[in-house]
Each structure stands twice: as C-alpha cells, then as structure tokens.
Amino acid sequence: MPQTPTQTEYEAVIGLEIHVQLRTQSKLFCPDSTRFGDEPNVNTCPVCLGYPGALPVLNKKAVEYAVMLGLALNCEIAELSKFDRKHYFYPDLPKAYQISQYNMPVCTNGYMELSTGTRVRINRAHMEEDAGKLVHAGAEGLAGSDYSLVDLNRAGTPLLEIVSEPDIKSAAEAREYMTNMRNIVRYLGVCDGNMEEGSMRCDVNISVRPKGQTEFGTKTEIKNMNSTRAIEQAAEYEIARQVQILESGGSITQASRLWNEATSETMLMRVKEGEADYRYFPEPDLRPLHISREWIEALKRQLPELPEERRARYISELDFSTHDASILVDVKELGDFFDAARPHCPHYKTLVNWLTGEITAYLKTEKKSMADTRLTPNALAELVELQENNTISSTTAKKLLAELLEKGGSPAKIVEERDMAQISDVGELKKMVEDVIANNPKQAQQFRDGKEQVLGFFVGQIMRATQGSANPELVNQLLRELI
Amino acid sequence: MMKTTRTALELHEAIQSGQQTALSVLDDVYNKIAEHEPAIEGFNCLTQELARETAREVDRRVQVGETLPLLAGVPIAIKDNINIKGYPTTCSSRILEGYVSPYDATVYQKLKQHLMPVIGKTNLDEFAMGSSTETSALKITKNPWDLSRVPGGSSGGSAAVVSANMVPLSLGSDTGGSVRQPASLCGITGIKPTYGLVSRYGLVAFASSLDQISPFGQNVKDTAALLQVISGADELDSTSIKNHPEPNYLQCIDQDISDLRIGVIQELQNDAIQPEVLKSIQDAVQTFESLGATTQPVSLPSFQYAVAAYYILATAEASSNLGRYDGVRYGQRVEEPDSDLHTMYRKTRSQGFGPEVKRRIILGTFCLSSGYYDAFYAKAEKARELMRHELRKAFEQVDILVCPTSPSTAFKIGEKLNDPVNMYLSDIATIPVNMAGIPAISIPCGFDQQHLPIGLQLMGPHQSEARLFQAAYAFEQKTGLCNLIPDLKIPPKSEPLI
Ligand SMILES: [Zn+2]
C-alpha cells in the first residue's frame, strides 16, 4: 500500500542583533551629554559634528560598561581590541564613517541560557557610536520629503552591538532572550532597557527549514520592534509566513522587513542586493584598546547580582513559585523592593503576595513605577506584620496599602492614630454579640433551626457596629457559642 | 644675499629687553608682506587684528616687567589647514568656501599661550595633497629664489613666506615630506617631529597616521625653539605621546658632535638624484667628518617600496577623512531645485574638489574596497612594518641617517603638474620617515648651478629631536648657509600716468 506523504515539519532558526545604548554621561568620543529629548543639536561639538580637524577620544566609562555587559554574558574580554571605520554616506552620519569595531571586538564567545534549556551562543559584542536623527518634512522618509532636518544630539552616543548565533528555535525563545537581555542591562545599570525610546534596538534574523535539514534556509531580517511582545509576535508571524511560502512551493527572498504593530504583519522594507561595501579599515585616530587583566578582574568584582542569580536565590533559597520569581526578577525594582523589605519581615511569603498581587496591579492601572509611589520597604514590612499578628484585618490592610502607596507614612502609626486595630478582646466582643442576638430573636431562631446563612447577617451587624474592626474569626466563633 | 635682520630668538630678546616693541616688529612684518606678497602669493589670508591683539598684550607685559614665555612677540604664519576659532580654514579648497572654524587647534592654543602673534594663513596644495602647492584652488605660490619655480609642497606657502623673509617662523604639516621638501626647495630649515610629539587636534586631516604639524625657521635654533613651544601631550589627541619629557632643545643644542655616528643611505645615492644634489650631500658628509663625526654607508632596501606603499595608505586614509565634505553641515553645497540627496552629494563633491584630491579619493576608495584590501592596504601595512624594522636595525649601528631631502632642486611651475607619478617621486626620500613615525630635519647644504637651494635631510630614531638639532646646528655653524636669503627685487612703482 502506498504511503501517504507526511506533512513536512519545519523548524525556525533565529538570531538576534541587539543594540544597547550604554548609559554614560557623555558620548563615546567627546564630552557632550547623551541626554535624551533636548532641543536639536545642543549636545554637539566639533568632534561629533565631524568638523575638519577634530579628533575622537575614547570614553573610559563606556569601555567599562561594555566589559561588564560582556562579563554578564559569559564573554571572553579581549585584552587587545581596536576600532575601525565603517564608511557610508548619509546626512545623519557627520564624518561619513562610523567608528565601530570590525574584526577585533571587545567581547567574544559568550552565551545565555534560556529556561527551555537552549543555550544561545553570543558571537560578539562590539562598541560603536550611534548616528544622529533625521526629521523629514512632507513625507515619512527621505524619499519624497520636501526637506529634511538633521539632529545630531544622538550622534556619538555609545552603543554595544550584541550579535547572537542563530541558536534560537522559537518566537517565545526570542522573546525570552530579549527579556533576559533587558533584565541584564538594567541589573548592571549600563542601559535603561527602554525599547520604546530606542535605548535598546533589535533586529531579528529568521529562516525556517525542514526539521532534520542541516543547511540554513534563506533568512529575512525584521526591524523596528519596540517591545519584547512585538518580537514574539513578529517572529511568529514571519515563521508562519515563510512556512506557508515554502509549503506552497515558493521560495524566500532575502530581505529586510519591517514589523507593523498596527496590522501585526511584517512588511517588505528592502531587498538585499549583495553586501554593502563599508570599506572597513583601522581607525588611525585611536590607539588600540588595551584592557588589562586587573581592570577586568576589578570590574568582575563590582558586578551586581544578575537576574539569573536572583531567580535561583528566590526559587531555591526562598522557595518561590517560578511565577512569583519571574515577576520579581523581570521587574527589577520589585525584586529590589522585596530584598529591601525582607530583613524586616519574617513573613516574606505574604510580602511576595502583596508585591505580585495588589502592588503590581496598582502599578499597572496607574501606569506608575515603584519609584513613583510613596511606599517604602519598611512600611510594607510593617503592614505585613500588622496583618500577620492579627492587629488589622485583611480588609483594613488593603485600604491602608492604597493610602501608603499614595501618601506614604508608617502603617503602625496610622493604625494607632485612627484606631484601626481589630477588636480581638473576647469580653468586649461577647457583650456585642449578646446584644445583637437579643435584638434579633427571629434570626437567632432561624439559625438554631439550621439556617446557616443567617450567621452572615449577624457578622454583618457586628462589623457595621465596629466599622469593620472586629476580628471576623472571633466573631464567628462567639456567635456559634452564644446563639 | 646676506640676511641682516634679526632671527626669531633675537627678536624675542629685543622685545623682552624693550629695544623693540612687539607692535613695531609686527609693522615690519606687514610692510614686508606688502612689498613681497604680490610676487610670492604665499598667504590665503592675513589675520592682522588677531596678531595686533597678541602684540599689544606682549608690549603690555613688557611694560609691567613680566618675563615673557619663549618666543613671545615673534610673528608666525600658519598653514591654512590649521583651525583658528572665528577664521576661515580653506585647505586651499573650494569645498570649504565659507567655512569659519568654530574652534581652535591645540597648536594654536600653544602659540597663544606663548604670545606669538599669528599674522596670517598660508597657501598649500589642496588638502595638503601635492609637492608643489600648485594643486591649491586659490593661488600659485612662487619660490622666492626663482619666481618661475615652485616652492615645493604641500606647505609651500609657509616655506615661501619664511624664505622671502616676510616672517621669521611658520608652521606647516608634513604627511610625506610636505614640510621638509619645501624647506629644501626654499633654502630654509624644517623639521618633521616624531609622530605624536605635536598634537594633531585641529589640523585638518589628510592621512591621520602620517600627518604631523611641523615648524619652519630660517635657522636651526629658531626652529628648535618653535618645536619646543608646540610639542607636548594633548588629551584631545589620542595619538599624542604621553609622558614625553618637557623638551629643552635649546639648552644642549651646541653640544659637541664628535661622537656622532652617521649613516649615509645608499638607496638615495643613485642616478635618480640630480647630480649637483648628490655632490652637495657628499660634501655635507665630509663636513660632518671634519666635525669629528664618523660616517658609514647604510643600506635600507625597503625604501624602494616606500612611495608605492605610501600612496596606498595615505590615499586610503584620505578617502575616509574627506568623506565629511558632503555639503550637509558646512562649506560649499551645490544643489539645484528638485535635486535629491545623492545629486547634491555628487555635485558638491565634483565641483568642490580639484583633480588631485579626486584622484587620491578614488585611489584610496579602490584600495579599501572589499576584495582589494588584502592586496593593497594590508600589503602596504606590511611594507610600512618592514621600513620600521629596517630603520630600527639601522639605528642600532648609527645615531642619524643622512640623504638628500629632495631628489632635485625646485622645478618649474607646471613642469610636473600633469605627471603625477613624477610628482610623487619628489617625496621618495621623505616618505619613509612618515611611514616609520620618526623625526627628520631638512637644512640647507648648498646651491646648484642655477643658484637654487639644496636640502640635506637628517633622520633619527623616535624622539631623537634633540640629537637632530645638535647635528644640524653644528653643520649650520660650520657652513653659515642659514645667513643667505633670496634677493627679491621689488618691482619699481610705475609713475602715475597723466
Ligand atoms: Zn560632541
């Protein structure tokens, strides 16, 4: 009997090129500020404007940040690297060349482990200067515009370009790789990791091939993604698109494609016609960069706890769920907040619940960061303790948290001042319970006849009378005893 | 004729002691410029206001009895590829038309600290590319010894104005001989210092790994004093030498040279050299022997690759350095209504650059193109390494090397302009020095039958400037050649017509 052909299974091959804007005070080769959002062309000087005769001088901090990021990505740090000129003409590139690192980058041979078990090898990370920005009048791009204006504030901002090997196998892995990268740069403090503002930019190279095939398929490069979610969506779309073309007997065109957030599609940007000739050669205005072993070791010692180390600590030492650990790792300030509150708070699990629950929800709806709130780690620890030792009810705790987030203050003091502690005094409560039963004989009889729901009525009465500060467990217990 | 005016150091003394005011010195300079500049055409612009301001400050300080810094009050001209804030930097190119520099070169800051009045900016081959100053888009500078001949180049303007005794000192830049060759052709002194000794910040780049700002003077001492003023580490230039000891060339300049070991470069003793030049160099070697120095022949076979390797590396760097003249931010922009970006680039660069600059941009672009890099740039780098190695070895045997600065004396205007390879060979003896990054000085050593000056070049290992000055000074004292200046006939003023 003839075999029916089985459906071909495809696998994706994905590599990422990430540009990280290093958050130095001044530019890579001149003393101008790297501040974002200033008036056009105020942060410029003869060096970054490419004036005749001006010369670059390397920013030491940028080198340190590059090394730190390299170390965090398990890279080898080159004791000797050099800068090269990469040539092309464009109005946002004042010298008509970009100072970059061609064949001797500062970091090589690193890797990042993903939760799927995939190890993504990192080919290299090299330093380079950013270009300026063009503003076009009358059209989206240069073509068709009436005129274009050049803003060179960004020209010369330090970048680290991190190039992965094509080891990523799915859209979800691509997203995780980018999320981890963003966490790492934030933990190191070398970049704010803000994709929307372009502090981190990413190009995704994607090809697909039948499972088992060793040669790579033709790849496309997707640009213009401004969130980790967009990376996942774009990769998913592009994989499906390529598989569909191959399935219908077509072939992939090597091209750059743009991710369109609005339509959730990738669109053709330009077809690659051979490699551009950048005419690289060693930058004669800079001496080769020597980074001593001692310098590297000193930077290694200064490295803060990295995201994966924090995740491991939360899970193995503190027994967090993977979900909770992820929230406190991915949102660095929440993890930092937890670590700051934890020494004052034996009931740290409750602390985590507050952070991953109420507080995360609050930040989301209010579109705030932790730093925008008035809540301090000490106050949160205090609040957890007040709740855990039954001084306040959980309802009170919630109310109090909302106030602490908005106005700040010490929860213990507020509870005392406003008499918000729950009434746990048996004598006082017993008296109230007896009164309520005596005043509502009909309902008391209904309960005695087995109508359990009536208990809720009595609890409600007590709570109303005490403005919610009676210990609900105790009230329940007393009602059962006394009816 | 014999020079009768004061040297730069003597002028400085006279100003310090109150014999002469800095302003009167300046007046003399501008009077001489008024006399001779029409014939020489060495200046692109004069900076009278700037110079007077400095001179007034010098006179003020003298009046209050202050001790002046070295060379204070001595007027100086600078090549028009060095930036002074608020003044045009033309590089003798149309493409920089209208460009006014927003900043000072470090070397200008040094002149300012030393209160040296900068009197004007001098003509050069366009972007310092040439050996005759004829590729200037602005004017043709003449050799003061024969106005039908070139002053050499690319710093021809700076050499001619010192040679014509309009100003005692000037600055040029030397990438492959651009100071030493015009010094030789104009009969004055010029030294290309060790690469990194003088900051390049503010010098418009031609070939960054070879360029070095270099002084001209009418004698060795003045030139040494000027180098002392302009040298030093600069944090704005990553390639400047750090931890170089503060030089004091003048202090030990008259040291005895009887222990000096001199090597005579054999590769520059052949029939490619003008016979009178060869003879003059042989005489110079004998002069050194008479001063007690020992001499020996030295062979440097890698010198045969120098010109070829240089024209690959220098043009590669130039093609990169000149990319910025694109009409976007400064200088000339050529555009027509409805012309797109690429048309604007093309027209601006086609009309802005002259033929020699275009030739070098195209050559350099080709050498860096993918597929050709290894065959050209990488190979030229190897040749450079070989030259460095050979020179290092040679300097284990001898203290200095001597050879002619230029294979011939000054040639006629127009003679080599359309023969680039022949023009390139003018720098055969000077190029290896830039390739190796070592210092070399050119001093007058005689005249040919047409009474055109001949230059002697002395090379030394890295940072051996003090030794070079000693040797050059001893030679100069013995020959007295520095006291001869060209006899410039001032054209008689015509009588007014009725
Ligand atoms: Zn700048």
Is residue A434 one of the residues assigned to a domain?
Answer: yes
Is residue A184 one of the residues assigned to a domain?
Answer: yes
| β-strands A10-21, A200-210 pairing | antiparallel
- Identify which of B83, B102, B368 has the shortest CB distance to residue A281: B368
A96 and A213 assigned to the same domain: yes
User: In total, how many domains does chain A have?
Assistant: 3
Query: What sign for the dihedral angle of Cα B373, B378, B381, B383?
Result: negative
Residue A3 has pLDDT above 60, yes or no: no
A330 and A440 assigned to the same domain: no
Contact between B188 and B164 under an 8 Å Cβ cutoff? The reply is no
A100 and A216 assigned to the same domain: yes
Q: Say yes or no: B447 contacts chain A, CB-CB below 8 A.
A: no
Residue A156 φ then ψ, to 5°: 95, 0
Supply the CATH number for residue A466's domain.
1.10.10.410
| Residue range B304-350, pLDDT digits in tens | 999 999 999 999 999 999 999 999 999 999 988 778 899 999 999 99
Domain boundary among A256, A275, A295: A295
A348 and A457 assigned to the same domain: no
As a whole number of angstroms, the distance between CA B354 and CA B150 comes to 19
| Residue A289 alpha carbon to ligand 1 centre in Å | 21
As a whole number of angstroms, the distance between CA A405 and CA A369 comes to 11
- Identify which of A55, A58, A143 has the shortest CB distance to residue B201: A55
pLDDT of residue B493: 62
Q: What is the DSSP string of A172-229?
A: HHHHHHHHHHHHHHHHHTS----TTTTSEEEEEEEEEEETT--S----EEEE---SHH
Residues paired with residue A10 on neighbouring β-strands, in sequence order: A210
| Residue A109 alpha carbon to ligand 1 centre in Å | 32
Q: What is the DSSP string of A55-93?
A: -----HHHHHHHHHHHHHTTPEEPSEE--EEEE---TT-
User: A-contacting residues of B 322-341, CB under 8 Å?
Assistant: 323-326, 328-330, 340-341
Domain boundary among A417, A439, A471: A417
Which is the catalytic residue, given B92, B154, B184, B302?
B154
What average pLDDT is seen over chain B? 95
CB contact under 8 A, A53 and B83: yes
Local structure of B291: helix, strand or coil:
coil
- Place A313 in a pLDDT band, splitting at 50, 70 and 90: very high
Comparing alpha-carbon positions, the chain A residue that sits nearest to B83 is: A53
Best of A281, A287, A289, A290 to mutate (most B CBs within 10 Å, chain B):
A281
If you average pLDDT over residues A365-380, what whole number do you get? Answer: 93
| Residue range A119-131, pLDDT digits in tens | 999 999 999 999 9
As a whole number of angstroms, the distance between CA A253 and CA A263 comes to 21
CB contact under 8 A, B202 and A285: no
Local structure of A238: helix, strand or coil:
helix
Comparing alpha-carbon positions, the chain B residue that sits nearest to A88 is: B323
What average pLDDT is seen over chain A? 91
| Residue A211 alpha carbon to ligand 1 centre in Å | 51
Q: Say yes or no: A268 contacts chain B, CB-CB below 8 A.
A: no
Is residue A5 one of the residues assigned to a domain?
Answer: no
- Place A112 in a pLDDT band, splitting at 50, 70 and 90: very high
pLDDT of residue A446: 87
Distance of CA A259 to the CA centre of its chain: 20
Residues of A in contact with B81 (CB under 8 A): 53
- Judging by beta carbons within 10 Å of its beta carbon (0-12, 13-18, 19+), is residue A1 exposed, middle or buried? exposed
Is residue A330 one of the residues assigned to a domain?
Answer: yes
Is residue A300 one of the residues assigned to a domain?
Answer: no
A473 and A408 assigned to the same domain: no
Local structure of B484: helix, strand or coil:
strand
Known active-site residue B79: yes
A200 and A105 assigned to the same domain: yes
Enumerate the domain spans of chain B: 8-255+404-414+429-483
A198 and A332 assigned to the same domain: no
Is residue A3 one of the residues assigned to a domain?
Answer: no
Structural domain boundaries enclosing A443: 426-482
Known active-site residue B408: no
Known active-site residue B406: no
- How big is the A-B interface in CB pairs under 8 Å? 104
Q: What tokens appear for B301 in the block?
A: 């076979």
The least confident of A15-24, A444-453, B82-91 is A444-453
- Identify which of B89, B96, B323 has the shortest CB distance to residue A96: B323
pLDDT of residue A1: 44
User: A-contacting residues of B 368-407, CB under 8 Å?
Assistant: 368-370, 373, 377
Minimal CA separation from A35 to chain B, in Å: 22
Residues of B in contact with A28 (CB under 8 A): none
pLDDT of residue A426: 72
Domain boundary among A417, A435, A453: A417
Residues paired with residue A85 on neighbouring β-strands, in sequence order: A99, A281
Comparing alpha-carbon positions, the chain B residue that sits nearest to A52 is: B204
| Residue range A463-473, pLDDT digits in tens | 887 777 778 77
pLDDT of residue B160: 98
pLDDT of residue B61: 98
If you average pLDDT over residues B162-175, what whole number do you get? Answer: 98
If you average pLDDT over residues A227-248, what whole number do you get? Answer: 95
Q: What is the DSSP string of B63-96?
A: HTTPPPPTTTT--EEEETTB--TTSB--TT-GGG
DSSP 8-class letter at A127: E
Helix (H) or strand (E) run with residue B346 in it: helix B341-352
Contact between A158 and A129 under an 8 Å Cβ cutoff? The reply is yes
> For the stretch B317-332, what's the b/e string if a residue is b when 16 or more beta carbons lie within 10 angstroms of its beta carbon?
bbbbbbbbbbbbbbbb
Residue A475 has pLDDT above 70, yes or no: yes
pLDDT of residue A4: 47
pLDDT of residue B497: 65
Minimal CA separation from B23 to chain A, in Å: 31
Does the domain at residues B8-255+404-414+429-483 carry the CATH identifier 3.30.9.10?
no
Q: Say yes or no: A52 contacts chain B, CB-CB below 8 A.
A: yes
Contact between B295 and B285 under an 8 Å Cβ cutoff? The reply is yes
The Cβ-side half-sphere exposure at B423, using a 13 Å CA radius, reads: 24
Is residue A1 one of the residues assigned to a domain?
Answer: no
Neighbours of ion ligand 1 (CB under 5 A): A 30, 32, 45, 47-48
A174 and A321 assigned to the same domain: no
| Residue range B47-86, pLDDT digits in tens | 999 999 999 999 999 999 999 999 999 999 999 999 999 9
| Residue range A390-411, pLDDT digits in tens | 888 777 888 889 999 999 999 8
Residue A273 has pLDDT above 70, yes or no: no
CB contact under 8 A, B103 and A54: yes
Residue A400 φ then ψ, to 5°: -65, -40
As a whole number of angstroms, the distance between CA B144 and CA B163 comes to 7
Minimal CA separation from B172 to chain A, in Å: 14
As a whole number of angstroms, the distance between CA B301 and CA B298 comes to 10
| Residue A41 alpha carbon to ligand 1 centre in Å | 10
Helix (H) or strand (E) run with residue B367 in it: helix B355-368
| ipTM of this predicted structure | 0.95
CB contact under 8 A, A284 and B239: yes
> For the stretch B13-52, what's the b/e string if a residue is b when 16 or more beta carbons lie within 10 angstroms of its beta carbon?
ebbbeeebbbbebbebbbebbeebbeebbbbbebbeebbb
Distance of CA B443 to the CA centre of its chain: 13
- Place B495 in a pLDDT band, splitting at 50, 70 and 90: low
Q: E strands within B145-293?
A: 169-173, 189-192, 213-217, 261-265
- Residue tagged 């030794």 (tokens): B467
Local structure of B360: helix, strand or coil:
helix
Contact between B7 and B84 under an 8 Å Cβ cutoff? The reply is no
Contact between A283 and A69 under an 8 Å Cβ cutoff? The reply is no
- Over pLDDT 70: what percentage of chain A? 97
If you average pLDDT over residues B268-276, what whole number do you get? Answer: 91
As a whole number of angstroms, the distance between CA A422 and CA B117 comes to 88
Calculate the alpha carbon distances from B170 to A293, A372, A444, B156, B159 in Å: 46, 63, 113, 11, 7
A76 and A200 assigned to the same domain: yes
Local structure of A109: helix, strand or coil:
strand
What is the CB neighbour count within 10 angstroms for residue A413?
A: 11
A310 and A291 assigned to the same domain: no
